[in-house]
Structure 1
Amino acid sequence: MEGYDLIGDVHGCGATLAALLEKLGYHQRGGVYRHPRRKVIFLGDLIDRGPRIRLAVNIARRMVEEGEAQIVMGNHEYNALAYCHRLGDHGWLRPHTPRHNRIIMNTLEQYRDHPGEWDDVLAWFMQIPLFLDLGELRVVHACWDQPLIDALRHECPDACLDRAMLEASVDSDTLAFRALDRLTRGSHLPLPEGIEIHSGDGFTRKTFRTHFWARDPQFYGDVIFQPDNLPDDLELRPLSDAERQRLSYYGPEKPPLFIGHYWCEGIPALPAPNIACLDYSAVKYGRLVAYRWSGEQRLDANHFVWVSVPREEQARPQPWEIDFD
């Protein structure tokens, strides 16, 4: 095998995923996309928002089950599990608030006529690990936090959820909560009192996303990692000692790390020599991005491959599709 093709957040862009796989040299045999010398690693967030969620899930799942791919859990797969599981008589693990309803709405609509299939997909999500450490490279959806990963390995060596861990994950005092939150959502810092960000996706946020590769960050601007700018001059606000202690750190001496989650924009670039973010907002008419890794320890931006997602319906990729029905 020559290496891995790591693919960022698909978010239901199933036809675009098929087009990207074709561009990478994968072709369908027996209803599964295969390559003679390479395999795929999906970075999570297959579901929600996009027009072809079932297609995206089935392409990825078939590849994983046939040994043609691996996958890590994204926060949207975890959200779906919590949204669809009850905690005894105490309601749903993830409350059915208007905000949570909106996030999963497209997924539930597209599976509405396939309830048995959706139940089966949820069972498959429970088998998806929270991270992959393959020695020469590492994969996690949002943030590699070594102390949390070490603790998680001690509790569940396969890094997969079980029912008890899923239920514990909604209690902020548990390892399950800390691990799910940091590995699938990354680290956040609260904005000062009274300040909010009105994001382009229609949500209002009182925190901002931070990255984890600044060795000695001093200001908010040293760690912010999201498409929305901070209001006013907050990027120049000094980080407190308490805020710095909340951040993870992944040093340049570590193996190559691949993440998604962060809604990057523009031409894919490397935020650090050993870190690649592959989420380039495909479902927002951005790019569905892959990185072709062939063993290099210092990553190369020339190894990015992508398919752009145009707004015009007639211009979008229309590859031959598997008939899942």
Structure 2
Amino acid sequence: MIIDVIGDIHGYADKLVGLLLQLGYVHDGTCFMPPAGHRALFIGDLVDRGSQQVATLEIVFAMLDAGVADAVMGNHEYNALAFATLDPDNPTQYLRSHNEVHVRQHEAFLAELPFDSEAHQYWLQRLYEIPLWIETDYACFVHACWDVDSMTMLKPLLTDANCLTPQGLIATAKEDTAQFDALERVLKGVETPLPDGLVMIDKEGTKRSRVRVRWWLDELEKRTLHEIARAPSSAMAQIPKDAMAENINFAIKTHKPVFVGHYWLTGMPEPLSQKVVCTDYSAAVDSGYLTCYQLDTQQPLPLKPENFVQHRHNENIDIGRQSQ
């Protein structure tokens, strides 16, 4: 079996259709059906940013309903649920505040699905059906970070299939709690504090006192922040070159390959490490390419650059291996 692990789509349905056709999927009038011996897996962040939100959801969920694909939840699906859910401890506020930054991040979704409309409520309920992670005999799939300790913390808040419950949404949305930190790890990645009260500005214009790190590297706490940070060099300019990472407390606790999205990579795709592959190559911007890794379940390791397929929507040629 070949698992076509598809990166963050972010409402770019045209790119998704292009990639599926390139991989040999054929629409049968109901959904895109895979070629023999293939199955799709969507690595999260189906929504926000692009102009084809509903079309993306319809394509993905038709495949899920037909039993020819799987998906894991991204932080943007989680954010959509929290943005629309009132805080039971403060009924005038939502679990994700409706501040200017959050509204801007979510405006493409709400432009197609007006807040609290019947269609909005329908798709929110469907998002609850997506598990936070999937583990099989041959690989692990999660949106941002395979953190076994955080997953153990989250399990009591999930269904047997690792899907978020409404109670779990409320519990994980409360900042400064272990459940909140665990959810952040799984859906957003590993962070470490910046030294001496320094701050950096992220791509949304938000001031950050913490920096996301490349958790797939070995011996994180023996490296400098500049070595392990997942941040633009311009954002790191004020951080001393010799500042060390502290209090990360993370290690990969699986022998299986791990597949993630989330990280807005660019360039020619390649594995992040001997164990970790990211399939997010910035399809959420017009110049980014929707990317897939074709995982052979009979031989998941070693991870190989030639197993990537990209849909180069703005070129006359397609780069990447065609479907098997």
Structure-2-length-normalised TM-score? 0.87
Aligned-pair CA distance for 1:138: 0.4
Map 1:106-121; keep pairs closer than 5 Å. Answer: 106-112=108-114, 115-121=117-123
**Is contact 2:266–2:288 with CA below 8 Å preserved after alignment?**
yes
* Alignment correspondent of 1:13: 12
Partner-residue secondary structure (3-state), 1:91: strand
Q: Deviations over 1:123-170 (max 9, x none)?
A: 011111111001210000001111122333355332111111111112
Residue in structure 2 matched with residue 275 of structure 1 by the alignment = 276
**C-alpha deviation, 1:280, in angstroms:** 0.8
Secondary structure of the equivalent of 1:40?
strand
Matches within 5 A, 1:51-90: 51-88=51-88, 89-90=91-92
The CA distance in 2 between the partners of 1:110 and 1:209, in whole Å, is 31
1:167 to 170, 183, 186: 170
Q: CA deviation at 1:191?
A: 2.8
Is the Cα–Cα contact under 8 Å of residues 212 and 247 in structure 1 kept in the other structure? no
Check conservation: 2:11, 2:51, Cα contact below 8 A: yes
1:209-259 alpha-carbon deviations (Å, 9 max, x no partner): 11212221321133212455543373733325xx2x3242226x7201100
- Aligned residue among 99, 104, 107 for 1:105: 107
Q: Which moved more, 1:29-38 or 1:128-137?
A: 29-38
Q: Residue 216 of structure 1: which of 206, 215, 219 is its match?
A: 219
Decide which moves more: 86-95 or 106-115.
106-115
Residues 214 and 222, structure 1, Cα contact 8 Å, conserved in 2: no
- 1:323 aligns with none
Question: What's the counterpart of residue 230 of structure 2?
Answer: 225
Distance 2:277 2:232 in 1: 16
Q: 1:199 to 1:94 in 2, by over 3 A?
A: closer
Output the CA distance in 2 between the equivalents of 1:164 and 1:279: 30
Give the match for residue 321 of structure 1.
none
For structure 2, the 5+ residue unaligned runs are 319-324
**Does the 8 Å contact 1:209/1:225 carry over to 2?**
yes
> Conserved in 2, the CA contact under 8 Å of 1:186 and 1:209?
yes
Contact 1:12–1:54 at 8 Å: present in 2 too? yes
SS in 2 for 1:268: coil
Q: Please give the alpha-carbon distance, in whole angstroms, between the structure 2 residues aligned to 1:203 and 1:265.
A: 22
Amino acid across the alignment from 1:238: A
Equivalent of residue 191 in structure 1, options 194, 210, 213: 194
Aligned-partner Cα distance in 1 for 2:249–2:230: 13
Candidates 290, 293, 304, aligned match of 2:292: 290
Q: 1:58 to 1:227 in 2, by over 3 A?
A: farther
Distance in 1 separating the partners of 2:306 and 2:176: 43
Partner of 2:260: 259
Structure 1 residue aligned with 2:303: 299
SS of 1:305's equivalent in the other structure is: strand
Equivalents in 2 of 1:113, 1:152: separation in Å?
A: 28
Contact 1:142 1:259 in 2 (8 A): yes
Partner of 1:44: 44
- Tell whether the 8 Å contact from 2:290 to 2:311 is kept in structure 1 after alignment: yes
- Give the TM-score normalised by structure 1: 0.87
Cα distance in 1 between the residues matched to 2:208 and 2:21: 38
CA contact (8 A) 2:257 2:301 kept: yes
| Aligned-residue CA RMSD (Å) | 2.4
The Cα shift of 1:200 comes to 4.5
Indicate conservation of the 8 Å contact 1:187/1:247, yes or no. Answer: no
| Structure 1 residue 186: Cα displacement | 0.7
Equivalent residues of 2:42, 2:70 under 8 A apart: yes
Instruction: Tell me which residue corresponds to 2:322.
Output: none
Shift of 1:3: 1.8
The CA distance in 2 between the partners of 1:204 and 1:287, in whole Å, is: 28
Structure 1 residues 267 and 201: CA distance shift in structure 2, 3 A: farther
Instruction: Give the Cα–Cα distance (whole angstroms) in 2 for the partners of residues 293 and 160 of structure 1.
Output: 24
Letter matched to residue 299 of structure 1 = L
The number of aligned residues is 308
Distance between the aligned counterparts of 1:232 and 1:113, measured in 2? 39
Deviation per CA, 1:282-311: give whole Å up to 9, x if none: 12221110000012221101000011354x
Q: Would the aligned equivalents of 1:197 and 1:230 in 2 still touch at CA under 8 Å?
A: yes
- The residue type equivalent to 1:61 in the other structure is F
Change (3 A) 1:66 1:173: same
Unmatched tracts of structure 1, length 5 or more:
318-325
